[in-house]
Chains A and B, each alone.
Chain A
């Protein structure tokens, strides 16, 4: 396993000089941090030459404090059985990413979802704008700075609570005469 990973690191680093790697010694996982413009070429290289023919998932992390999105492409090789994570960062205002639609066709669905939910534009992406939501004209909903509770409070009616409303956890404690642990107490309303 270590030998396979060392071979892989050597292959990638000879072709892409500014890729940093991170190794997870006891798992079959290998991370690469690359520039966002290298993404199509590194994925094509991995698919054609190194045998990483299966795109498992595309994940996204919203680093609000650093002002960036991070896209993670998870690819898998059936012979070597190593998961390769290719990570790229993009800035939060007007994010533009290259499109990998032509390498794997299922990336179309993932990219349309990111376009609707996070507002990331992909160059040359084809597909309808409305992926799941219909007639949505607010900010992209899955960003961390979109307060869904405030939006829901101002758009929809709410039913006012009962005057004799009781707290569920306090009632259960009273009835069963048991003490709940401290980490659960902070979820009582």
Chain B
């Protein structure tokens, strides 16, 4: 019986993440259009795109490794989703959580793009190879302040599990945004790189290298990548809300909080030009690293 609720909970979580992620994608396109003084597509446009891509009738592949690339991406997104508590105190279905799962999550979040790199390398397209190396080197950039912020949190509250951090947040009563501010600033600056909006969107931009890693994938592969991108966006947003903004008690508050924190990279991206790869790495090893070090010192002292 327990097993049945677990399985149902997992499926329901995946469906929720898919729907919310795709809706946020459509809303972002609408907001981008309104900022640029035009009407945009309707908010359900990403669903239409996904269904059209799924309905392509011919598929061309260059070997089984290319099929594995999007599959790795999807698997990593879904498995990461299983470790995020969606609502406070297990309000949503109980998922898998254990001691030390925050460190496990850090490793899992890198697994997806690595699988994509293998898949893109199999196609033999030089654009994919260059795009993949750029993406991975950018990841070297933003992982440093992100890991520093999380380690600072872990030191401050003597626990390495997400549920432990959420309980500590609830007991103290204030959001962790205010009780460890430097970690929050470092994590928000790292978030700009994680979501791959401007100015760090050199990896998948259509005008740069014919869209990088996805250049040989069309049809169902592209559908898989879009869906896993949306699910992963939901994962990251919920993680931020759980760690820094006090979790959520019901779904409506969760949606409001995730949307509020999603606007930071989106609105900053609308007005920024694009960085080259070495400029973005230099940015991440400047001020965000400084705030990460401050967060570690703050956590060690207090």
Any A–B CB pair closer than 8 Å: no
